[in-house]
Chains A and B, each alone.
Chain A
Amino acid sequence: MSTTQRVVDTTANWVDERIGAGKWMKKNLRKVFPDHWSFMLGEIALYSFILLLLTGVYLTLFFNPSMKEVVYDGSYAPLQGVKMTQAYESALYISLDVRGGLLIRQLHHWAALLFVASVSVHMARVFFTGAFRKPRELNWVIGVGLMTLAILEGFSGYSLPDDLLSGTGLRITQGIILSLPLVGSYLSSFIFGGEFPGTEFIPRLYSIHILLIPGILLGLLTAHLLLVWYQKHTQFPGVGRTNKNVVGFPLFPVYTAKAGGFFFIVAGVLTMISALFTINPIWLYGPYVPDQVTAGSQPDWYIGWLDGAVRVIPNWETVLFGYYISWNVLIPALIIPGIMFTLLGLYPWIEAKATGDKREHHLLDRPRNAPTRTGLGTMAISFYALLWISGGNDIIATAFGWSINSITWTIRVLLFVLPPVVFLITKRTCLGLQRRDRDILLHGRETGIIKRSPDGEYTEVHAPVDAKTRAQLMAVRDSDYQAIEAGPDVDENGVAAPKKGRLGRALSRFYFSDRVAPATDEEISEGQHHAADQLETVRPQSSITGGGH
């Protein structure tokens, strides 16, 4: 027995005698995880978060979250003698006077950008593949919560250095708080400890950023991962994959190596990006002073859509007996995001109402097989993207030489025109792709071999599809639902149609009126045999059965 073996045995024994780890190990050492690259997106988010924690701890060793004003006397000449807060001064110190400080600070910031980006892409993957369906609705809601917290955490983080750019963002936040009816001025005074900017806000933001939100994030993240572990990961349909199994690779050694290795990949890529690209050069922005501002003031990308909404809204405001209701602030900053996040959180139940499906779903949908869901998703993304673009409208105007006024008006119009168009195009595309998939099942795949019959007719020879493709194409049945037709208001006995379930029926029609009926087993096997026969006539005993479409 080698030394390694002996050490492992002794350790394992020690642990087992105390907590009975053997039982858990027996069950989970060879736990199966399905393999698809898109399942790594959530891991990018997880690993970015770990990096944020590690780099964040380092930063807390140097950062001073105080708004006490000091005169700068550090190494950066253009700010010598300039008044600034200790928060800004300590951030400058980390960036310019601590070896490796700038690297860690940039890594922290790049990781934050990537954290929210990967959470968004991961959420999109879960949405478009229907992974939020029963039994994973709770995990979806936890995910939406994680996303919201990630955004808030990022915002609080980049506001800490108290530089000109992020300070402008804080002023805008205060303006939004002020606009809240009845309580706005009170909330603003409580949150800022008095007037803006005051001396309390950065320290308060600090404890929210390093303690409160990370604590909640860790808790929710643990729940999120435990649920995935316990419920087992979903998988794409394929050969041998059913709703009752999980096909993939064992935790030990394959996933330990792949997922563990992927942490180092994410860390390495982010570190190299931090080596090569400047992010948030606070020494160039200068300290925050409430009467200075830079052209091209934008928040970090994940707040960009809110800034864009605030730019593009018309200047609606109502004044009733001297009381102000600022629609131009409430709508873009509170009502629109409120609606969007609520719809997002409730979506599993909305769709469940449309399908009436109470089965468990562990096989993922191909997006084309859920056309309405995919269309709604792309529609929401197009709306979001327009707001996002609007947030950078002045940068775009400068880069392309366009008028910011024209850009604003164009986006105002597009916000209403583009999403429905995107929905229609997406849905039609999905249905078209479904029809093509069905054709392949019914007629076989195209081979490119042209056959000429004795009377001169040209036809293309089709071949049967391989088992893997066949399994994937047939998965459409899991996503197939029929719309419930609207019945008469009153049935033949004069009894009115029940009100209960009316919403469900209407939703069902919205979702499934356009349906491509899947091919039946008989049709498929007949079609595949026919294709095989066709192929035989040109390539006897051919081995051309593989390949997809």
Chain B
Amino acid sequence: MSSSTARRRRPTAAFALVAIALLSTGGVYAVATSVATPAQAETSEASPELLEEGSQLYKTGCSSCHGLDLGGVPAQATNTESESQQNGPSLIGVGAASVDFQVSTGRMPVGASGQQVVAGRSIYNEKEIAALAAYVASFAPGPAIPSQEDLDTTEASLSEGGELYRTNCAQCHNFAGQGGALSDGTYAPSLGGVSARNIWNAMLTGPQNMPVFNDTTVDPDEKRAIIKYIETIQAAPNPGGAPLGRVGPVSEGLLAWTIGLGVLIACSVWLGAKAK
């Protein structure tokens, strides 16, 4: 038997094989599900070509739920999941910002129906998203996508952003933007990896159950401050060591019981065992 065959037949070989399989599967999955951040959208008037492209994309990807006239499609009588809601709500007046948010975060088009639409990888590229947004916005005025200047947080106050975040956002999204549970299976998602533009879009348009924090409730300066705080906290190092998910005492308690007690009990067993 050759040495390589002998190596393959060892018990550890099976373990190594499984480990390799798991790691490669995980790695492929991680790469495949990373969301592409869209580039900044144009805020200039939409050209006829853009609107035409948007119209085509809309007809094929969106009209079945939102109607050819953007007026929404009422729920079917047999559809018990959306009794009092339409199959797809009206898009009149939702604005380019809504479309930008929903489509670029992959929430729309909806994959599987459930309590809440789930973010994922967007099936459209930046140009297509811009086209869709322009098309929907052309039907009625609505919240606009923020410009580069809108999102420039250089002058924004970090500490005011923190205070605004803790008053307006932390109760749903958690003190560090890790997300939180809402009623009946819905949730406020984690803010990890969300672009500044989409944070703005979400505040502005109030997607799903999120309230609408428009520019008169939370003005643009305040929005910039909040975005600056979120980005700073997300990127900040953890002075005390591994952050354990930044969800508070639950994960800390789990660690104390598993690793803390586990290691110490292992040491106790070692201590008490008769030496050979």
Contact = CB atoms under 8 A, between A and B. Distances in A.
User: Do A and B come into direct contact in the complex, CB within 8 Å?
Assistant: yes
Interface of A: 35-41, 44, 77-82, 95-96, 102, 106, 110, 113-114, 117-118, 121, 164-165, 258, 261-262, 265-266, 269-270, 273-281, 284-286, 289, 291-302, 304, 392-395, 397-398, 401-406
Interface stretch (B8-16, B79-87, B104-112, B246-254): B246-254
Nearest to B242: A277
A281 B261 contact: no
A128 to B, nearest CB: 15
Contact of A110 (B178, B260, B269): B260
B19 interface: no
Nearest to B254: A301
Contacts of A36: 272
A406 B186 CA distance: 12
A269 B264 contact: yes
Given A258-B271, A300-B253, A398-B181, A294 B175 contact: yes
Contact of A392 (B167, B175, B229, B250): B250
B272 A304 contact: no
A273 B249 contact: no
Given A279-B244, A398-B181, 13 more contacts: A37-B265, A40-B268, A79-B159, A82-B163, A102-B240, A110-B256, A269-B260, A276-B242, A277-B255, A278-B243, A278-B244, A281-B240, A394-B180
Interface in B203-257: 229, 232-233, 238-244, 246-257
B78 interface: no
Given A279-B240, A392-B250, A164 B166 contact: yes
B253 A37 contact: no
Given A278-B244, A281-B238, A299 B249 contact: yes
Contact of A295 (B159, B172, B267): B172
Contacts of A121: 261
B256 A298 contact: no
A298 B248 contact: yes
B264 A266 contact: yes
A299 B252 CA distance: 11
16 contacts: A40-B272, A78-B158, A78-B233, A95-B239, A114-B261, A165-B248, A274-B241, A292-B167, A294-B166, A294-B174, A296-B247, A298-B250, A395-B181, A403-B115, A403-B184, A404-B183
A292 B167 CA distance: 5
B273 interface: yes
B174 A296 contact: yes
B88 interface: no
Contacts, number: 203
Contacts of A401: 185, 187
Contact of A301 (B172, B187, B252, B259): B252
The 7 closest A-B pairs by CB, nearest first: A295-B180, A301-B253, A403-B185, A278-B240, A37-B272, A40-B268, A397-B181
A537 to B, nearest CB: 33
A405 B247 CA distance: 20
B183 A301 contact: no
Contacts of B259: 273
Contact of B273 (A37, A262, A274, A281): A37
A39 B271 CA distance: 11
Nearest to B267: A265
Contacts of A80: 158-159
A430 to B, nearest CB: 23
Given A40-B271, A40-B272, A44-B264, A398 B167 contact: no
Most buried by B among A113, A294, A300: A294
Interface in B157-213: 158-163, 166-167, 170-176, 178-185, 187-188
B36 interface: no
A301 B244 CA distance: 15
B153 to A, nearest CB: 13
A39 B268 CA distance: 9
B252 A295 contact: no
Interface string B133-168: 000000000000000000000000011111100110
A291 B250 CA distance: 23
Nearest to B186: A403
B162 A78 contact: yes
Contact of B271 (A262, A278, A291, A392): A262
Contacts of A165: 175, 248-249
Contacts of A77: 158-159, 232
B244 A277 contact: yes
Contacts of A392: 250
B263 interface: yes
Nearest to B171: A293
B73 to A, nearest CB: 26
Given A262-B271, A281-B238, A294-B171, A405 B180 contact: no
Contacts of A281: 238-240, 243, 246
A78 B229 contact: yes
Nearest to B176: A284
A298 B162 CA distance: 21
B162 A82 contact: yes
Nearest to A165: B248
Contacts of B184: 403-405
Nearest to B183: A405
B271 to A, nearest CB: 6
Nearest to A105: B240
A463 B188 CA distance: 64
B67 to A, nearest CB: 30
Contact of A284 (B172, B175, B257, B269): B175
A113 B170 contact: no
B158 to A, nearest CB: 5
Nearest to A405: B184
B181 to A, nearest CB: 4
A304 B253 contact: yes
A278 B188 contact: no
A270 B176 CA distance: 26
A294 B29 CA distance: 32
B250 A296 contact: yes
B256 A301 contact: yes
A443 B166 CA distance: 70
Most buried by B among A96, A265, A275, A406: A265
Most buried by A among B238, B253, B269: B253
Given A274-B241, A278-B243, A298-B250, A114 B260 contact: yes
Given A95-B239, A276-B241, A296 B253 contact: no
B158 A294 contact: no
A484 B183 CA distance: 54
Nearest to B252: A279
A286 B188 CA distance: 20
B51 to A, nearest CB: 38
A304 B249 CA distance: 9
B189 to A, nearest CB: 9
A295 B260 contact: no
Contacts of B163: 82, 286
B257 A117 contact: yes
Contact of A37 (B173, B241, B271): B271
B185 A402 contact: yes
B256 A295 contact: no
Nearest to A394: B181
